[in-house]
Homo-oligomer: A and B are copies of this chain.
Amino acid sequence: MSQQPVKLTAKGRATRQRIIEGAAAEVRTRGAVATTLDDVCRATATSKSQLFHYFPDGREQLMYAVAEHEADRVLLDQEPYLSDLTSWAAWDAWRDAVLARYREQGTTCPLGVLMTQLTKVTPASREVTTRLLEQWQQRITDGVRAMREQGATAPDLDPARVGAALLAGIQGGVSILLQTGRLTHLEAALDVGISGLRAGA
């Protein structure tokens, strides 16, 4: 759905990309529901016809492209730590990266918007967030397993279960951040989660 069948020149690709990024920014600040196509046109200095030229299926298709774009960001922003959780130092660095990320962006959260809004608006984008969650949890679970194999955690710990709990904590922490503006819950979820891992060693 996100692929463009017709031929695009370099200029065309650039315009298409500009539209996606502008739309993503708009969605992040105003919310997916409140973002109109006219807003996107204004923000990206394009016209309606361009928009529908690059996204023939209209708003739906654009929002899907935005979802993909934002989903990529979420994981990339946690690298290189997320893919290499093989020492407690790495875990701490990851924790700090996640917190720093959300501290700086405040209530403007790509994932939050993705999860809480785009899905309702664009059923197709549910698949994007589902895939994102799976990948994210996979990375965390891999990290837990790595630590267990080092004997750094309780030996009988179930990596998938713990990974799921940790991911849930992060999600909830972010939700609460978006609601209240407070970072405390995200921080607590990460710290309690990680120290729980260490505890059983």
Contact = CB atoms under 8 A, between A and B. Distances in A.
A118 to B, nearest CB: 11
Contact of A173 (B168, B174, B192): B168
Given A165-B192, A188-B161, A196-B196, A117 B117 contact: yes
A162 B185 CA distance: 9
A196 B119 CA distance: 33
Contacts of A188: 161-162, 164-165, 168
Copies in the complex: 2
A66 interface: no
Size band of the interface chain A makes with B: 35 or more
Interface string A83-127: 000000000000000000000000000000001110111000010
What 6 A-B pairs are tightest by C-beta distance, nearest first? A171-B172, A172-B172, A116-B116, A168-B172, A165-B192, A164-B188
